Amino acid sequence: MKSFILFLFLIFFIGSCSRDNRISDNMSPIDDKTIATVISRLEADHGAQHSERIRRGVKQVASLWKSDDGDIEAFESFCLENFISDNRELDLVFDRLANNFEYIFGYMNRISLEINRPIHEDAGPLHPIDRMFGAFSPAAHVTDDFFRNRIAFFIALNFPFYTLEEKNRYGGDWDDRQWGFARLGDYYTSRVPPALFQDYARVSSQAGMYISEYNIFAGRLLNDDGETLFPEDMKLLAHWNIRDEIKSNYGQPGGEEKQEMLYNVMLRIINQDIPSEVINNDQFLWNPFSNEVWKNGEKADVTPEGAVRYSHLSNIFNALKKMDPYYPDTDTYIERSFDRGMEIPQQEVEDLFREYASSPLLADVARLISDRLGRPLRPYDLWYDGFKARSSISEEDLDRITMARYPDAEAMNRDLPRMLVQLGFDREKAEFIGSRIDVDAARGSGHAWRASMRSKPSHLRTRIGRDGMDYKGYNIAVHEFGHNVEQTISVYMVDNYFVNGIPNTAFTEALAFMFQARDLELLGLEEDDLMKEHLDVLDFFWNNFEMMGVSLVDMNVWKWMYDNPQATPEELKVAVIDIAIEIWNEYFAGIFGENDIPLLAIYSHMIQNPLYLSNYPYGRLIMFQLEEYIAGRDFADEILRIFSLGNLTPQHWMDRAVGSQISNQPMFNAVERALGMLEKEGV
């Protein structure tokens, strides 16, 4: 599950990543001659030893300066009066900025968290006023205000911007404070009108609310014999809970029939011929095979959802595309998301995923799964869960355990330090971290909300039913707990505020997956399978295959939207389905024995979290390398060391964390060993 990406950070980080702002209708009035003159005067005043900082800073301010900011003389005066060459003064200013920005980020974050509580937490019906506040971004004008009062120019002048290439080239020799200087230099490199941020906040909130209320009442689903298969009160959020219910039915009586039913629900959602009346509504009976609906014993006339799902995706695309002219160096959201946000080029990510999805080892694992199931694979076997030790424990037993232990959010809140101690953290560190996390019952699937200041907690949100937290909710909660642990370490235990965090969200996903993999251990359930290590590798490998597929769909849908910016939601729906089928046919059809399956388009992230999905498979590759490195070492000590490295580039973070870069090969090697061991043991 995702770590919640606060809109504030879109404004300050992803939202400010271009080196130029010379937009046709508001060109910078500062010409090259003026820039050269100011650089020369500053070098004369402060000495040639500061030439590099002077050159970078003056050019950066010039690229951001608009006519409304003043004439050429005002620009010259600002630069000459505000450049700092004294190192002690520069350190003093850096520390003051770190203090002030922590309060600004922290309280803006807190405002957003509080006004969104009714939307994100399960606290009763939503009122229209809740939706209005959910669409409001309190931080939308902050960046613009800082340009108007010249704080942004002051930072751009004294803490220059370095490109990703330069950070990777020089960063190996930087200490934590130098990295803080460089990250501060990332803050102000473009100027987007606040109205565009506010518009994005509005459509993003609408998409989030649509997804958070997209529940299917499984107990109201009928098979062709008119029978219900699921508990009467079972409510499944699409896609997360539907997927997890498919996973939980491996090895269970009647499990295959339930899986087929839920698979057809997914196809109806993707194709948008799902009746609107059955979404988040328990008043109807629905056969997802025939698509017929009944109410009070009578067949009901219903309306297909149409293209509502894709209209939200279209709205998000259009809101982000309006910002493109303000980023001449990264003039698509695709580039900003990968080159600047993820700090890894999109094509590099896609090539890595395609290499993985092309591995011949996948066919070997597929044959093993088919043998274990005793049948040919079905498309929903993307979520095969039979390699895990938990598959030998019934879902009902796991539910009983988690419901008894966590009847409400507060019960888990109290248990967090104990869970950390079980993972090897000493009592003092466990209390420190656990006390800085608050657990809330989620309205949607769950998420982790990062704290942006040291005096406020992060928030762990997961679904909690009337009878307590079922295993699905618990499994998600442990994942989110991993995010919260990262968030706490990387805020409290870094050298300075400007390097708080991690390189990108894939890295927090890595720790979340590491925690999630230990969910049974945290329940005190022993796993005595001698082949567990090898089965875990195959489970990881297979699950990441699925995530590579949905990520490839996500990336290529965004490419299509940029190629077809005027497309209607209906046209977008057709395109998404076509792209999902294309990726399926290229990488999955040969393994599953079926063509033209659109299942890879089911993920809700694609609708509400633009281009987020790549973080999951990338994070899993990082997780695998971290697990390999930590094996034989103290888990807690290494987690504290690694996640206090802070917000370096991915290249330097991986080098300092484990001494190697992200690659598919370690996973491929482990899969070959696992398959060989299973064959040797006849498992």
Q: If you write DSSP's letter for every residue of 91-134 in order, what string do you get?
A: HHHHHHHHHHHHHHHHHHHHHHHHHTHHHHB--SPPPHHHHHHH
- Is a pLDDT exceeding 80 seen at residue 123? no
Tell whether 206 is covered by a domain: no
- Is a pLDDT exceeding 70 seen at residue 6? no
Tell whether 203 is covered by a domain: no
Identify whether residues 10 and 64 lie together within a single domain: yes
User: Could you identify the residue written with the tokens 């046709």?
Assistant: 24
Identify whether residues 543 and 504 lie together within a single domain: no
Tell me: the pLDDT tens digits for 285-312? Answer: 999 999 999 999 999 999 999 999 999 9
Q: What is the pLDDT of residue 1?
A: 47
Mean pLDDT of 530-546: 90
Q: What is the pLDDT of residue 16?
A: 42
Q: What is the pTM of this model?
A: 0.83
The residue ranking higher by pLDDT, 524 or 125, is 524
Identify whether residues 21 and 114 lie together within a single domain: yes
Cα separation, 636 vs 639, whole angstroms: 5
Q: What is the pLDDT of residue 23?
A: 41
Identify whether residues 118 and 220 lie together within a single domain: no
Cα separation, 106 vs 102, whole angstroms: 6
Tell me: the pLDDT tens digits for 342-390? Answer: 999 999 999 999 999 999 999 999 999 999 999 999 999 999 998 875 5
Q: What is the pLDDT of residue 21?
A: 38
Q: What is the pLDDT of residue 301?
A: 94
- Is a pLDDT exceeding 80 seen at residue 611? yes
Identify whether residues 160 and 240 lie together within a single domain: no
Tell whether 468 is covered by a domain: yes
Residue 383: CB atoms within 10 A of its CB come to 21
Q: What is the pLDDT of residue 138?
A: 79
Whether cis (ω within 30° of 0) applies to the bond prior to 239 is yes
Q: Which amino acid is at 213?
A: E
Identify whether residues 364 and 451 lie together within a single domain: no
Angle at 651 between CA 647 and CA 656, to 5 degrees: 75
Tell whether 663 is covered by a domain: yes
**288: DSSP letter:** T
Mean confidence (pLDDT) of the chain: 91
Q: How many domains does the chain have?
A: 4
Identify whether residues 140 and 256 lie together within a single domain: no
Cα separation, 224 vs 567, whole angstroms: 37
- Is a pLDDT exceeding 70 seen at residue 27? no
Quickly state the pLDDT bin for 550 (edges 50, 70, 90). Answer: very high
First to last CA, the chain: 32
Q: What is the pLDDT of residue 177?
A: 96
Mean pLDDT of 670-681: 89
Tell whether 316 is covered by a domain: no
The residue ranking higher by pLDDT, 155 or 446, is 155
- Residue 7 corresponds to which tokens in the numbers above? 């809109």
- Residue 673 corresponds to which tokens in the numbers above? 């060993």
Tell whether 315 is covered by a domain: no
Mean pLDDT of 96-103: 95
Quickly state the pLDDT bin for 528 (edges 50, 70, 90). Answer: low
Quickly state the pLDDT bin for 559 (edges 50, 70, 90). Answer: very high
Residue 219: CB atoms within 10 A of its CB come to 16
Mean pLDDT of 534-542: 92
Tell me: the pLDDT tens digits for 458-496? Answer: 999 888 888 999 998 899 899 999 999 999 999 999 999
Tell whether 493 is covered by a domain: yes
- The distance between the two most distant Cα atoms of the chain, rounded to a whole number of Å, is 89
Are 537 and 671 in contact by the 8 Å Cβ rule? The answer is yes
Mean pLDDT of 122-143: 79
Residue 92: CB atoms within 10 A of its CB come to 12
Identify whether residues 136 and 231 lie together within a single domain: no
Tell me: the pLDDT tens digits for 378-408? Answer: 999 999 998 875 556 777 889 999 999 999 9
Identify whether residues 341 and 304 lie together within a single domain: no
Quickly state the pLDDT bin for 272 (edges 50, 70, 90). Answer: very high
Identify whether residues 378 and 398 lie together within a single domain: no
Residue 238: alpha-carbon gap to chain centroid: 17
Domain termination residue (choose one: 309, 338, 371): 309
Short-list 85, 76, 83, CA closest to 48: 85
- Is a pLDDT exceeding 90 seen at residue 17? no
Q: What is the pLDDT of residue 111?
A: 86
Domain termination residue (choose one: 283, 309, 335): 309
Residue 304 exposed, middle or buried by CB count within 10 Å (0-12, 13-18, 19+): middle
Query: Would you list the DSSP string of 201-264?
Result: HHHHHHHHHHHHT-EEEGGGBB-TTS-B-S-TT-EEETTHHHHHHHHHTTTSTTHHHHHHHHHH
User: Could you identify the residue written with the tokens 């005066």?
Assistant: 77
- Is a pLDDT exceeding 90 seen at residue 2? no
Are 438 and 459 in contact by the 8 Å Cβ rule? The answer is yes
Identify whether residues 15 and 67 lie together within a single domain: yes
Cα separation, 637 vs 426, whole angstroms: 9
Identify whether residues 474 and 342 lie together within a single domain: no
Tell me: the pLDDT tens digits for 163-200? Answer: 999 999 999 999 999 999 999 999 998 888 888 988 99
Q: Is the dihedral of CA 139, 144, 147, 153 positive or negative?
A: positive
Domain termination residue (choose one: 309, 333, 357): 309
Residues 6+ apart with CB under 8 A from 118: 124, 126, 127, 130, 133, 134
Q: What is the pLDDT of residue 396?
A: 86
Lowest mean pLDDT among 40-49, 365-374, 524-533: 524-533
Strands 285-287 and 292-295: antiparallel
Residues 6+ apart with CB under 8 A from 43: 50, 51, 54
The parent domain of residue 378 ranges over: 321-387+529-681
Tell whether 275 is covered by a domain: yes
Q: What is the pLDDT of residue 15?
A: 41
Cα separation, 472 vs 248, whole angstroms: 9
CA distances from 15 to 144, 427, 642 (A): 12, 40, 27
- Is a pLDDT exceeding 50 seen at residue 217? yes
Quickly state the pLDDT bin for 265 (edges 50, 70, 90). Answer: very high
